[in-house]
Amino acid sequence: MKTSGDPITRLDGPAKTTGAARYAGDQALPGQLHAVLVPSTIPAGRVTGIDARAALATPGVVRVLTASDMTRVHPDLDKITCPPLATRFLPMQGDQVLYEGQPVAIVLAERLEPAEAAAAAIRVCYQRDAFTPPETAPAEPPDPAKGDYSKSSAVTFQKGDAAAAIAAAPVRLAARYTQPSRHANPMEPSAILAAWEGDRLTVYDAVQHLPAVQGALAAVFGLGADKVRVVSPHTGGGFGAKAFIWPHEILTAMAARVVGRPVKLALSRQHMHAMVGPQPQMTHDLELGARPDGRLAGLTHATANITSVTDDYVEFGAIPSRAFYACDNITTDHRVRRGHVTLPTFMRSPWDGPGSWALGSAMDELARRLGVDPLDLRLANHADTDPESGQPWSSKKLREAYEEGARRFGWRERPRGGTRDGHWRIGCGMADCSQGQARFHSTARVRLAAEGAAVVESSFCDIGTGPATVFAQVAAEALGLDPRQVTVRSGDTDLPYSGPTYGSGTTLSTGAAVQRAAERVRGRLAALAGWAPEETTMREGRITRANESRTIQEVLGAAGLPELSSDGAFDLPGGAPVDMGEAGAPARTFGAIFVEVGVDPELGLLRLRRAVGAYSAGRILNPRTARSQMIGGIIWGWGMAAMEASHYEPKLGRWLSKDLAGVAIPVNADIPPEIEVAFVEEFDARSGPLGAKGIGELGATGVAAAVANAVYDAIGIRVRDLPITPDKLLAA
């Protein structure tokens, strides 16, 4: 019997490979209209007129909505914070335009094709205003009034006197590292179908947290949350782009209310760039001071990221510098550059992904100056406790991960940098991987039927990471069933509340709720049999005590019950909805990534040859799905390192390329089969009862730094500006 810890295949695999899984864009309702957004062509100004005559004359077009047609938001929306609202600026509530691509009208038609043709036929007149390219705007402190990201405790941090310690250190390094904006491109673009029945709203949405959408839409229309239902049985990738509530979701629900018919909106790739924010372009300024033995004496890390003129999104990229390494003197600071651009947002992996790029590169440069191995430098600065708080980690086996990764890669035996393989120069690099661990209040229900089948119910999102399989394993372990005897229902706010599917917190949080619900069912079954729960075991549809054994059907039949049902919850201290490390022991996942690259210095080509990642990430509930997650993260990191960039055109005030024809992302030909993933054995009881942590983002950290470090090893060129494209290698 396979339960938690076994590498079983995905239980939802058949539905997804046969097309039976229904995503938001697959949903349809009788009488629905298709919506297409009309985007602004200017980055700043006002709409002075809209000519929709040609659009309305298109056969099949039912309505063209402008700002004057739209419902005005209810004052209750002021009670919703950012996040979970992505931005407080809602288009089509007036005539103001604050970024290119902002919706200024909505075309509604019986079919998608005439809606698209009509949207192209609409003519919009503008009053153009001067605009600010965000990358050239001055770096300023975040404004707490512009978003809940701007908590002072996170924006700045000081421990000791970093400046003095660095000035007195015998070995010093100061460098600037940059990374461009990057848009997430999930396989499923954002889509939503909204329908009203009286004062009740139902939406089928591509999201990462259903209750957040429910609460925000209820606030928009001044409704109770029980009047809004959000359904999302499957989400085709999120990566943070679907984490929060974006304007298109609100506008679609408004449009459906205005016309009194269901309205379906599926964003094109181009509209995704306009409506859903990117990970922001940012700069990192680092200074390190070290003693001759390599131990850090002082560290400063200051970042600046672009944001919109309406809200402050802060990418806390300096967080790793107060978490990765032991140091008595640390200063970090975060600033923003405001401009006329779509508000940025989370992307796998927020904060630690950008921060590990800069810090991991700087540590490699410091190792070169000290003349020590980059791995030995990290071992010398291993943080046995949290450098920020001084508290012990909830668990940490990074030393074991270093050892295992180095052994599998052959790090200690690697060839000298610059070894040739034909026209390729070979280099090796490594970096630390780490991700902060989020925990969310979550609930679940488990129902056990007399015939020995169970059902798990919770509103968590399936974004392709395999939670339904893992939760079936968790329930099966507690109930003595095969996971294939467990059905998992999710993606509906009518089900028990689940926390978000981001922050690498789903398995830890909702999984714990499932475990507790299943254990309560087991306890109730034992009580019905007249036995103490601690005396019993369950296996293959039977409950057993000593030499006595009964089937589930016998116990429930004697009680006259068709099934048993219990709820379970994962609660945080003080009833908080979320813990980002403030409550309890500091919690992180850790690891190390080792890569080998080939560089053709004459053509500027860069190729990944092999990679080994070794991780300390708590209990691994399903090694098969976990390995897939980590490989996906490493590939994601390669894209960040060598390919991906969304460029803002400063003269036109718009994203230069808005589809995959102009933005390179990794494909099969870019990724070698030699990617190896290993986990050290670990159980983190302080993070949660499952002993598990989240891994969805961990694999994406550290990779960019390891690649840049390997490039230096290969050809002696230090690239500090991502991505590492041929032009940079040739110019150097």
Reference 377, options 404, 340, 402, 347; nearest CA is 402
Average pLDDT over residues 20-47: 97
Residues 269 and 161 in one domain: no
Domain count, the chain: 3
Q: How far apart are CA 322 and CA 303, in angstroms?
A: 13
Please check the confidence at residue 209 and state whether its pLDDT lies above 60: yes
Q: Which of 22-31, 35-44, 140-149, 707-716 has the lowest mean pLDDT?
A: 140-149
Query: 591, 398 in Cβ contact below 8 A?
Result: yes
What confidence score (pLDDT) does residue 57 get?
A: 98
> To 10 degrees, what angle do helices 703-715 and 352-370 make?
30
Rounded alpha-carbon distances, angstroms, from residue 346 to 86, 110, 184, 239, 401: 10, 35, 9, 8, 27
Average pLDDT over residues 513-531: 97
Rounded alpha-carbon distances, angstroms, from residue 366 to 295, 299, 374, 396: 11, 12, 8, 25
Considering the chain, what is the average pLDDT of its residues?
Answer: 95
Question: What angle is formed at CA 490 by the lines to CA 488 and CA 491, rounded to 5 degrees?
Answer: 160
Residues 260 and 293 in one domain: no
Q: Are strands 228-231 and 103-109 parallel, antiparallel or unpaired?
A: unpaired
pTM: 0.96
**Proportion of the chain above pLDDT 70, given as a percent:** 99
Average pLDDT over residues 196-223: 97
Please check the confidence at residue 150 and state whether its pLDDT lies above 80: no
**Which are the contacts of 543, defined by CB distance < 8 A and separation ≥ 6?**
480, 522, 525, 526, 529, 531, 536, 537, 549, 550, 551, 552, 555
Average pLDDT over residues 708-732: 95
Question: What confidence category does residue 674 fall into, taking pLDDT thresholds of 50, 70 and 90?
Answer: very high
Reference 279, options 316, 318, 246, 245; nearest CA is 316
Task: Please report whether residue 404 resides in a domain.
Answer: yes
The DSSP call for residue 495 is S
Rounded alpha-carbon distances, angstroms, from residue 482 to 95, 115, 489: 58, 49, 17
Residues 69 and 93 in one domain: yes
Residues 271 and 284 in one domain: no
Please check the confidence at residue 526 and state whether its pLDDT lies above 80: yes
Residues 547 and 507 in one domain: yes
Question: What confidence category does residue 77 fall into, taking pLDDT thresholds of 50, 70 and 90?
Answer: very high
Q: How far apart are CA 303 and CA 358, in angstroms?
A: 10
What confidence score (pLDDT) does residue 2 get?
A: 54
Residues 363 and 403 in one domain: yes
Task: Please report whether residue 216 resides in a domain.
Answer: yes
Please check the confidence at residue 385 and state whether its pLDDT lies above 70: yes
Instruction: Label residue 523 exposed, middle or buried (CB < 10 Å: 0-12, 13-18, 19+).
Output: middle
Task: Please report whether residue 7 resides in a domain.
Answer: no
Residues 95 and 197 in one domain: yes
Backbone angles phi, psi at 518, to 5 degrees: -65, -40
Last residue of a domain, one of 561, 579, 597: 579
* Strand ranges in 540-683 using DSSP code E only, listed in sequence order: 542-545, 548-551, 563-570, 578-579, 588-600, 605-616, 648-649, 654-655, 675-679
Question: What confidence category does residue 652 fall into, taking pLDDT thresholds of 50, 70 and 90?
Answer: very high
Catalytic annotation, residues: 697
Identify the residue with better confidence: 82 or 708: 708
Task: Please report whether residue 631 resides in a domain.
Answer: yes
What confidence score (pLDDT) does residue 21 get?
A: 95
Q: In CATH, what number is assigned to the domain containing residue 247?
A: 3.30.365.10
Question: What confidence category does residue 4 fall into, taking pLDDT thresholds of 50, 70 and 90?
Answer: confident
- pLDDT tens, 449-487? 999 999 999 999 999 999 999 999 999 999 999 999 999
What confidence score (pLDDT) does residue 96 get?
A: 98
Task: Please report whether residue 675 resides in a domain.
Answer: yes
What confidence score (pLDDT) does residue 1 get?
A: 52
Q: How far apart are CA 313 and CA 316, in angstroms?
A: 9
Q: How far apart are CA 231 and CA 118, in angstroms?
A: 30
Task: Please report whether residue 2 resides in a domain.
Answer: no
Please check the confidence at residue 38 and state whether its pLDDT lies above 80: yes
Residues 454 and 550 in one domain: yes
Residues 339 and 226 in one domain: no
Average pLDDT over residues 578-607: 92
Sign of CA dihedral 340, 346, 347, 350: positive
Task: Please report whether residue 138 resides in a domain.
Answer: no
Start-end of H helices in 57-140 = 112-121
Average pLDDT over residues 491-518: 96
Q: How far apart are CA 390 and CA 406, in angstroms?
A: 28
What confidence score (pLDDT) does residue 584 get?
A: 72
Give the domain extent around 394.
Answer: 144-181+279-437+582-731
What are the strands of the beta sheet with 542-545, ordered from one edge? 537-539, 542-545, 548-551
Q: How many CA atoms lie within 13 A of 546 on its CB side?
A: 2
Would residue 92 be called left, alpha or beta, if left means φ above 0 and alpha means ψ between -120 and 50 degrees? left
Residues 383 and 271 in one domain: no
Residues 375 and 449 in one domain: no
Q: Are strands 605-616 and 588-600 parallel, antiparallel or unpaired?
A: antiparallel
Last residue of a domain, one of 515, 548, 579: 579
Q: How far apart are CA 703 and CA 636, in angstroms?
A: 9
Average pLDDT over residues 598-617: 97
Last residue of a domain, one of 579, 603, 624: 579
Q: Which of 377-391, 506-520, 654-668 has the lowest mean pLDDT?
A: 654-668
Indicate the SS3 state at residue 205. Answer: strand
Reply yes or no: is the peptide bond before residue 103 cis, omega within 30 of 0: no
Please check the confidence at residue 31 and state whether its pLDDT lies above 60: yes
Backbone angles phi, psi at 476, to 5 degrees: -65, -40
**Tally of CB atoms within 10 A around 534:** 8
Start-end of H helices in 458-546 = 467-479, 506-529
Q: What is the DSSP string of 373-384?
A: -HHHHHHHTB-S
CA 527 to chain centre: 42
Task: Please report whether residue 44 resides in a domain.
Answer: yes
Please check the confidence at residue 644 and state whether its pLDDT lies above 70: yes
Q: How many CA atoms lie within 13 A of 725 on its CB side?
A: 13
Residues 479 and 391 in one domain: no
